[in-house]
Amino acid sequence: MRFGRISKAVGVTAVAAVALSACATQGGGSNTSTASAGAKQGGTVTVVEVNAFNTFNSNTADGNTDINSKISYPTHSGFYYIDNKLNVVHNDKFGKLEKVSDSPLTVKYTVNDGVKWSDGTPVTAYDVALQWAAASGWYDDADPKAKTGTSYFSTAGDTTGLNNTEFPEVSSDGKSMTLKYTKAFADWEIALGSVVDIPSNVVAKHAGLSDGKALYDLMKGIKKGDPSKPQPANETLKKAADFYNTGFDTKTLPSDTSLFLSNGPFIVKDIVPDQSMTLVRNKDYNWGPTPNVDSIVVRYIGSAPAQVQALKNGEADIIAPQASSDTVEQLKAIPGVTVDQGNQLSYDHIDLNFSGPLADKDVRTAFMLTVPRQDIVDKIIKKLDPNAKPLDSQIFVPQQAAYADSVKNNGSADFQQVNIDKAKQLLAGKTPTIRIMYNKDNPNRVDAYTLIAASASKAGFKIVDGGLGKSDWGKALGKGGYDATIFGWINPGVGVSGVPQIFKTGNGSNFNKFSDPAADQLMDQLIQTTDQSKQVDLEKQIDQKIWASSYGLPLFQSVGVDAYSDKVTGVKYMPNQTGVWWNFWEWATK
């Protein structure tokens, strides 16, 4: 599946940058790049999301949740977007993204004149260079085992592809950045993300530098990090990285407007913590798709019934609940409401830490044998999809041709049924205490936790409820304080980098610290391979190794349910992490 963004998925999943072939969905697509012809201009659309916003930097391992990315999308612009047919659509009004050489692979990014941040300063190639620095891990020389060296920028994605480059060259006018790769990279076109969302000037000033160019010049003078030869930390770069990592984190609207600058169609105007956010038109914006509406109100409601009620009461125009069994029936009973339903590029799963009481593989295996996956599917998904079954791959979903072949050999057959007796044998009298972390404001996650806790207890596990609130659980991932976690991944539908993002040793989204040198080698091959058949073969091998490690269990592929009032037009189903937001510029009020 190549998942990559924490999906704090449609409800809560984790988002990584991964790829999956198109899933079966309902709804159409469009490459419209201007306001819809004949659509009414102005008005406000209210959208309801499951998770709560907590940072203006969705690129970090902590910030990589679906809601943070969805807010970044309409408030920023970039070189491309992905439509609901999973095509990469270039935005030539923002700038030009072009491959200028195959050997060596060389990519040039040019930002057009007139593109600017909402404080009036131009968007430059120095902003793009900061994206590269953060996403590449180029300066890191940390060795976690030896406890030496320094980790600078936090990134949710896999750094391998962008790490295999020379230092990028920025043109004298600051408009273009040329990136020369030292190794092939399958995902070069989407390597830096679809939006330019962090202003280098702001990061530079918080590190004591004058502007983005000064930060670029600083970075240019620092050698590439080498964990085998760690160097003393560059204090100025460390300041810049530390601010990049946490300086944009907030649940409220900062008094310092530089912390939420926009270069996209909308600007954040107001935030009510854990409740709502209001976006208003950026009147200077003219370098991409032009929206019809003047403002968008985003409300955070975790409960699917509460989302349905908000739509019914006219308090919301568009909802995207993490649907439960009765959600679709409730929605179809509301006059004037359209319901779109389809398989998502996301899946729910329970991951087990490779530390603490679960450091022992036998204990992990025992726990996996207690997870009632069929019961979870029956309770959460079955009414939405009568054909739903437990998901048996960590890499593929059933709509992919490779799914069935991978399932035959990946080891999932050992976990088709709950086996309490075998779990007890593996525990050999032990009664490990396992704290399970999940989003306690998400009813589906509560249901999954409740079923797992009851079943695991039968084998002798002592289960502790580690549920956290809707704006807190994402930041807790990978921080310790729990032994297992229930969440989801959702991907953009293009590329393969989502696989190493989640499963490669040491990566920011590898929250449970899984490590397999052989799997790492396969993932390195994967991102350098452009032949799709070879990619699939490598992914099958990786899938097998993940299962062999007793990593945890995929639970089910998520079913996407979007619903909207007849007061709005232009809403179209999207199976990836952007969801209904993918074409927000086409939304219009009647």
**Bridge partners, residue 48, by sequence:** 299, 319
Do 415 and 550 fall within a single domain? yes
The answer as to whether 33 is a domain residue is no
Cα torsion 510, 515, 516, 517 to 10°: value is 100
- Tokens coding 319: 């909802």
The answer as to whether 235 is a domain residue is yes
Query: Strands (DSSP E) along 229-293, which ranges?
Result: 266-272, 276-281
Q: Domain containing 323: what range?
A: 260-343+559-589
The answer as to whether 35 is a domain residue is no
The answer as to whether 69 is a domain residue is no
Q: Is the Cβ–Cβ distance between 351 and 551 less than 8 Å? A: yes
Give residue 429's identity as a one-letter amino acid code.
G
pLDDT at 402 over 70: yes
Higher pLDDT, 244 or 471: 244
Do 300 and 368 fall within a single domain? no
Do 494 and 483 fall within a single domain? yes
pLDDT at 583 over 70: yes
Do 457 and 517 fall within a single domain? yes
Do 338 and 364 fall within a single domain? no
Do 103 and 211 fall within a single domain? yes
- pLDDT of amino acid 28: 30
Report the C-alpha gap between 290 and 84 in whole angstroms.
18
The answer as to whether 45 is a domain residue is no
Residue ending a domain, choose from 247, 278, 307:
247
| Confidence category of residue 36, pLDDT binned at 50, 70, 90 | low
Query: Model confidence over 497-542: pLDDT tens digits?
Result: 999 999 999 998 999 999 999 999 999 999 999 899 999 999 999 9
The answer as to whether 62 is a domain residue is no
- pLDDT of amino acid 383: 83
Do 222 and 271 fall within a single domain? no
Do 472 and 551 fall within a single domain? yes
Do 568 and 549 fall within a single domain? no
- pLDDT of amino acid 22: 21
CATH number of residue 446's parent domain: 3.10.105.10
- pLDDT of amino acid 298: 98
Do 231 and 89 fall within a single domain? yes
| Confidence category of residue 406, pLDDT binned at 50, 70, 90 | very high
Overall average pLDDT of the 8-36 stretch:
33
Do 280 and 211 fall within a single domain? no
- pLDDT of amino acid 175: 98
pLDDT at 23 over 90: no
What SS3 class is residue 8? strand
Report the C-alpha gap between 479 and 477 in whole angstroms.
6
Contacts of 213 (CB under 8 A, 6+ apart): 124, 126, 174
Query: Model confidence over 43-61: pLDDT tens digits?
Result: 999 999 999 999 999 999 9
The structural domain count of the chain equals: 3
CATH number of residue 173's parent domain: 3.90.76.10
Taking the alpha carbons at both ends of the chain, their separation in whole angstroms is 38
State the DSSP H helix or E strand holding residue 324, giving kind and residue range, or none if neither. Answer: none
The answer as to whether 111 is a domain residue is yes
What predicted TM-score, i.e. pTM, was given to this entire model? 0.85
| Confidence category of residue 325, pLDDT binned at 50, 70, 90 | low
Do 283 and 240 fall within a single domain? no
- Tokens coding 402: 């490779």
The answer as to whether 20 is a domain residue is no
What SS3 class is residue 343? strand
pLDDT at 29 over 80: no
CATH number of residue 575's parent domain: 3.40.190.10
